[in-house]
Structure 1
Amino acid sequence: MAQSGQKQSSRGARRPAQRRRAHADEGGIIPVLARTVRAIESAAERGKVNASGRLRFRVVAVLAREERARIKGDAELGDAQRTKELTRLDGIATIMAKTAARDSSLIQLLTDAGPLSAQAQEMRRSMLLDAGTELAPEDLVVVTEAPPSPAAPERQVVPASVRQFQRSNPFLAPDFSATQPVAETSGELASWELIEPLFRAFESGAGGGAASMELPEARSLEAPGALQLMRHQARFVESARQGHRTYLLADEPGLGKTAQALLAARTTASYPLLVVVPNVVKTNWAREVEKWTPDRTATVVHGDGDDLDAFADVVIVNYEILDRHTAWLAQRGFKGMIVDEAHFIKNKDSQRSRNVQSLSRSIRSRRPGALMIALTGTPLINQIEDFRMIWQFLGWIDEKQPTAQLMARLEETELTPVDPGFFAAARGAVVGMGIVRRKKVDVAADIPARRIADIPVELEGEAGRSIREAERALIARLVDRYRRVLASRPEAAPEDVIRVVAHAELEESKQSSAGDNVFAMVRRIGQAKAVPAADYTVNLARNVGKVVFFAKHIDVMDQAEAHLAAAGLRTISIRGEQSSKARQAAIDAFQTDPDVAVAVCSLTAAGVGVNLQAASNVVLAELSWTDAEQTQAIDRVHRIGQELPVTAWRIVAAQTVDARIADLIGSKAGLAARALDGEEVDEAAAGSVQLEALMSILREALA
């Protein structure tokens, strides 16, 4: 046996020399590694290394270590040749170190000694073949073990700010002071299969009572920053104040779920707080944090998190990039977690669901009594089974049975699934765990009759990049013209020069077809917002019923109708080229046919003389240049006979001229009201929105 072991060891020692052929400068693995790492360096210089680049970076690091060990141990190499080869490897190491300094997500991959994923093994084998290496038997086999949950190591990033936070907070001990876990029950229901009966309890409808837990009366409607809550919002916050910690908050859209969740976190001191949201609303969440909890700071995670503030009270991250950040988020020590549009996690096999569940388990295990809130206006999309993943996120059930707290509530009913009355009692027990569902009609007395809510969206992809480039070109042109005018008229007041420059740009834009003039830019922004706006409309229609969708341009309407049709929603269209008979038929269908979910309308063609009060929700996909046009559109729904409060959802492209226009329209609305009240109106303030938008852009650039 000893002799056999010696032979085996001898073969193992010789294998690297058999597997690698002698290197000429043009051959072998080193040139392959050099080419690969230079390509990654180039990507880092352009701004970002993607997941594929990180994977290649890790494989290069592994092969470089293997090659260094082989060179040092190869007895056939002379000292001069060994020094030469090691020097070439040092050059690769230098490039890798510089690249990692540019993109901090690569640093941990330099020394990662964990097993390679199947994809990384394939890439390693490919590089060896490119180098002309004779592969050893073990290199021919790819081990296809499941990647670590929730994401493979090469997908994980640790932003620089997080590393700084970890150094300043090396010990994050679990906090068990809030509550003690409920002891496991061994009662009569312990041997029953209960998950399916609980779902059936909700399928039976209202037989078990309203699907909303009892909430205490509010102490006050006051909120930070001199804001006022509506009564139904204040009652939710009071519930959290009194000790409740897990909620499925399923209020209809327009009832202020975001404010309720943030104020519940503030009331319970659930900071740091993790908020997981769809990409299109993460900017809006940051604004809501600033609005409702001005004493707290928020940070939004973009991409690999290069610009995030890990010391912030509220960390906002979208589903799409969550897989890169689960490792450090799990260690951050959150005391609460909010998941917006929680129906996104209903598919237990989806990556985003696995990521959310993993983080939920981590937070609940470290912080018993953590505040956990699932927000959704559409808790059920297709079937009762959609509840499963939301209940698991909240810790009410695990994969097999109710957890201890819910089981204790069920035991208190003293009923089993075969007893009469079990389903109603079981439904009540689950609702009491924290289901809150109010409709507009239930709280209509608390809600303003008409209000406008902005939904900021971030423009992604090539369309977003081209719009930002066009805006940069516009800014550069305005600044250059400002400097030239000021040089020729040094005695002029800066504000006068700003107005002259903006006016000249506006007049040229009216005559120009260039893509970077303000009118063309607004048009392109509308096109880029078409799908996000339609997607928001889908969620509204599935939850609250009929919705009116307004756009200015036909191509935006076309994109929206295609998206709505793909989502399975029936629509009608109101456009300028329709005959009066066709238009009335479309209106009648929307008003009377329960299967017609959305009216897709031209802002100009349907802005007057149309009654669409079967809906109480309006989506404004494109902004008008005037408040009057916007108001006329909303008034198609907000009319005599409308029994519900009306909410208009303006889709605003964040960090673009679109956001400036939205603010200016709001100021014009206030100006119009003051004018009607007989107040003095400053003539300059009454100028066009287009002109003031350009002036605002130039002022900001000069500042």
Structure 2
Amino acid sequence: MADRPQSRSRGGRTNGSRRRADDNVGITPVLAKAVRRLQADTRAGNVDGDRFQAVALVVRDERARLKADTGLTEAQRDNELRRLDGIAAILAQTAAGVPSLFMLLSDDVGITPGARRLKREMERAGGLEVAEEEPVRVAPERSERQVVPRSVLQAQLSNPFMAPDFSAPPPPRLTERRLVGWELLGPLLSSFEHATPGVSSCMALPEPRPTVLLPPGIELMDHQARLLSGVADGLRTVLLADEPGLGKTAQALLAAQAAQAYPLLVVVPNVVKTNWAREAARWTPARTVSVVHGNGDDVDGYADIIVVNYELLDRHVGWIGDHGFRGMVVDEAHFIKNKKSQRSQHVLEIADRVRQRVARPLMMALTGTPLINDVDDFLTIWQFLGWIDEKKPTTMLMARLEETGLTPADFGFYPAARQAVVDMGIVRRRKVDVAADIPARRIADLPVELDEAEARSIHAAERELALRLVNRYDSAIAARREHRGESAVPDGIDHELVRRVAGWELSDADDETGENVFSMVRRIGRAKAGLAADYAAQLARSAGKVVFFAKHLDVMDTAGEVLTKRGIRFTEIRGNQSTATRTKAIDDFTSDPEVQVIVCSLTAAGVGVNLQVASDVVLAELSWTDAEQTQAIDRVHRIGQTEPVTAWRIIAAQTIDARIAGLIDAKAGLAARALDGASEEETSTLDVRLEALVSLLTDQLAARESA
């Protein structure tokens, strides 16, 4: 009790008064004054971008400093962080009225001279040590098409100026320096190019164990579970080079879950963008996924997984680099092999900016390309993963190379160096290696997005067909009401009449003229021909020989044009060929290693042809029956086939194509499962076409009733 008077200071002020006085010391009150002035000026119409950028930068730096200051108590740190949150909130409110201010926070926008000067003035006024003047960073040129979607701005407002996460342990220190001065990238590439035959290209992975919560009814194969165990143990950079058909997409999505690498950025070719969204919903249903289209007007800035295709990076690279992604997946990573290309530059830039904010993000490059081919192409992939920079290995890989105790002058350096790179995170499994895990043959649907103009035209044709069906149905109902009275008209949908209306439409349809189910499906086939051929080219480069099936000659012609542009050698089987020409085409495909694709007519090559040298089939157009589809696949899946066979069925997303595919699967009992050769009751062509029209009309009537 005797000590209590000492709680007062001279002048009669209490400790609370002293705390309030302390609140006016340091950088925080300087920031508070600056942000209030900024807010007032902006409301008056005087936007000061330099001051906005300077305040934001100092807030970030101070937040990071407070979190790293071990001399503060938790209460002191929380109090200061709350004060910074208040300043950040005012900044966000200010920027809400002038969204262009957010672009000043992008890492690719250099600090303006005015912002640099104001930042240093505030730091001096706040009693902070000011570093020596740094050279001004010149901002790289940006496309005039750069955009920031509205939803992304809203997401930024909800959590403005988040401090970087550097909580991971620092990289290893280099205790040995024997490799200093050596040029190492050439020897590293050589170690792969001239590797001992049969040596593994896959790092050692732990035994499979439960690591993630799987959706009901889904199980992992052994090779998939091993990768997830590795990620759970701390693996964060992965070159996943499994052959096509081994589930790289699922492994990448589940790896993000195991590493809690959200939000996750997925960069993909346009042809598989829709499929990634569908697979994300299947494998990680608890996570939201959003796909970037065009200017991103429909993108969800709050989504856990954001999917964007290479071609759109030019428009979106600015905000993507600042979005706070904790993981990044690059699918078909051989797309970035040309380091000078714009897509490669954007991918590398985003990867660097992700690493600037997160110490150990999940970085995954997916490609089926064997490591022994075009080995120079992997330099860009290694740089994306952070294993090398422009000229040399980075610290983590350099430490592994130093541990070998060898230099490129030593005979044993090359196999040891190759293993060091593999152990950084190269995972490569072949179908034949995991044959026990996967079905002998299976059908995998690959949804693709059609060209925007073509898609609009096809959607309009579908609406016209649906409207014609509805009008026929309504006319029949009206005639029944007129002749038999109101009691003859059911309350809901008359499903028997629906089937009769569909039958009338089918009997009136003509394969070549008019807009009907036949002509529409053919139009869809033409529209997706280039996408199907492009995917066949990707498969040929990554997995070996590919059999490409189409129903119509114009689709085959388009496929040939695309394959020629891609530098893929191919041969063809058509119905109008002589026996000698047909035999030579088959022999070239089966015997010549340079001929990578055979483009086949479903009717001309669907039976009596042995193409088992391949294990991948691309079905560019839908068959009307499962039998026709199965016969095509059986050109590859035959006695003597040593590898599991995958048939990639190309589906035009959001069209009647997907409806027909589902009907064929339902009738044949396929439904996204492996084919086991079991006998199934055959469905006629007429039935599938009829069911497609029944389904279309039923959906239209149901939508009208619920409206």
Of 271, 279, 286, which residue of structure 1 is paired with 2:277?
286
Q: Indicate if the aligned counterparts of 1:150 and 1:326 stay in contact, CA closer than 8 A.
A: no
Residue 578 of structure 2 corresponds to which residue in structure 1? 579
What is the distance in 2 between the residues matched to 1:657 and 1:478? 15
* 1:455 is aligned to 2:454: no
* Alignment size in residue pairs: 569
2:630 paired residue number:
631
Distance 1:382 1:210 in 2: 15
Over the aligned positions, Cα root-mean-square deviation in angstroms equals: 3.3
Aligned partner of 2:309 in structure 1 is: 318
Q: How does 1:323-334 map to 2 (within 5 A)?
A: 323-334=314-325
Specify the SS of the correspondent of 2:603.
coil
Q: Give structure 1 stretches of 5+ with no counterpart.
A: 1-64, 66-104, 115-145
Secondary structure of the 1:596 match is coil
Alignment partner of 2:182 out of 192, 195, 207: 192
Kindly state the Cα deviation for residue 501 of structure 1 after the two structures are TM-superposed.
2.8
Matched, 1:162 2:161: no
- Note closer, same or farther for the CA distance 1:211–1:474 as it changes in structure 2 (3 Å cut): same
In 2, the alpha carbon distance for the partners of 1:642 and 1:674 equals: 15
Q: CA deviation at 1:502?
A: 2.2
Letter in 1 for 2:154: Q
Q: Which residue of 2 aligns with 1:135?
A: none
| Match runs of 1:132-281 below 5 Å | 148-149=139-140, 151-152=142-143, 154-183=144-173, 187-206=177-196, 209-220=199-210, 223-281=214-272
Is contact 1:525-1:653 (8 Å) kept?
yes
Q: Deviations over 1:503-561 (max 9, x none)?
A: 222222237712x3211111111111111111111111122221111000011111112
In the TM superposition, residue 382 of structure 1 has moved relative to its aligned partner by 6.6
Aligned-partner residue type, residue 352 of structure 2: R
SS in 2 for 1:287: helix
Deviation at 1:499, TM superposition (A): 2.1
Q: AA paired with 1:209? A: V
SS in 2 for 1:306: coil
AA paired with 1:513?
A: T
3-state SS, counterpart of residue 625 of structure 1: coil
Which is further off, 555-564 or 249-258? 555-564
Percent identity, aligned pairs only, is 61
TM-score by structure 1 length? 0.75
Q: Report the Cα offset of residue 641 of structure 1.
A: 1.0
* Pairwise CA distance, 1:147: 9.4
Q: Deviations over 1:587-638 (max 9, x none)?
A: 2332223232212111111111111111111110000011111001101111
Per the alignment, residue 289 of structure 2 pairs with 298
The separation in 1 between residues aligned to 2:544 and 2:679, in whole angstroms, is 37
Partner amino acid for 1:238?
Answer: S
Q: In the alignment, does 2:433 pair up with 1:442?
A: yes
Cα deviation for residue 671 of structure 1 reads 8.4
Deviation per CA, 1:43-70: give whole Å up to 9, x if none.
xxxxxxxxxxxxxxxxxxxxxx9xxxxx
Is the 8 Å Cα contact of residues 225 and 292 (structure 1) preserved in structure 2? no
Per the TM alignment, residue 357 of structure 1 is displaced from its structure 2 partner at its CA by: 0.8
SS of the residue corresponding to residue 225 of structure 1 reads coil
- Asked if the contact 1:335–1:363 (Cα under 8 Å) also holds between the matched residues in 2, the reply is yes
1:376 equivalent among 347, 367, 378: 367
Residues 572 and 599, structure 2, Cα contact 8 Å, conserved in 1: yes
* Residue matched to 2:652: 653
Pairing 1:355-366 to 2, within 5 Å after superposition:
355-366=346-357
Point out the more displaced range, 417-426 or 488-497: 488-497
Q: Distance in 2 between matches of 1:208 and 1:520?
A: 51
Provide, for residues 619-674 of structure 1, a one-character-per-residue CA deviation record: whole Å limited to 9, x for no partner: 10000011111001101111111111111011111111111111111111118999
Q: What does the per-residue CA deviation read over 1:109-153, in whole Å, with 9 as the maximum and x for residues that have no partner?
A: 699999xxxxxxxxxxxxxxxxxxxxxxxxxxxxxxx9944733x
Match of 1:597 in 2: 596
CA contact (8 A) 2:524 2:652 kept: yes
- Deviation larger for 482-491 or 366-375: 482-491
Q: Secondary structure at the match of 2:179?
A: helix
User: Which residue of structure 1 lines up, in the alignment, with residue 397 of structure 2?
Assistant: 406
CA deviations over 1:230-264 (Å, ceiling 9, x no partner):
21111111111111110011111111111111111
CA distance in 2, matches of 1:248, 1:494: 56
Give 1:568 deviation, angstroms: 2.7
CA distance 1:676–1:590, change in 2 (3 Å)? closer
Secondary structure (helix, strand or coil) at the match of 1:190 reads: coil
For residues 407-556 of structure 1, the aligned pairs below 5 Å read 407-489=398-480, 491-492=489-490, 493-510=493-510, 513-514=513-514, 516-556=515-555
* Alpha-carbon separation, structure 2, partners of 1:663 and 1:178: 47
Q: For the residues of structure 2 that align with 1:379 and 1:107, how far apart are their CA atoms?
A: 50
Structure 2 residue identity aligned to 1:285: W
Mapping 1:378-393, distance limit 5 Å = 378=369, 383-393=374-384
Relative to structure 1, is the Cα distance of residues 164 and 607 closer, same or farther in structure 2, using a 3 angstrom cutoff? Answer: same
Distance 1:675 1:508 in 2: 36
**1:53 is matched with which residue?**
none
Query: For 1:576 and 1:536, how far apart are their aligned partners in 2?
Result: 24
- TM-score, length of structure 2 as denominator length: 0.75
- Change in 2 beyond 3 A, CA 1:246/1:190: same
**In 2: Cα distance, 1:241 partner to 1:652 partner:** 35
Q: How far apart, in 2, do the equivalents of 1:402 and 1:588 lie?
A: 46
Aligned 8 A contact 2:195 2:415 in 1: no
CA contact (8 A) 2:243 2:428 kept: yes
Aligned to 2:22: none
Measure, in 2, the Cα distance between the counterparts of 1:438 and 1:150.
41
**2:668 pairs with 1:669:** yes
Cα distance change of structure 1 residues 666 and 178 upon mapping to structure 2, 3 Å threshold: farther
Q: Which amino acid aligns with 1:690?
A: R
**SS of residue in 1 equivalent to 2:571:** strand
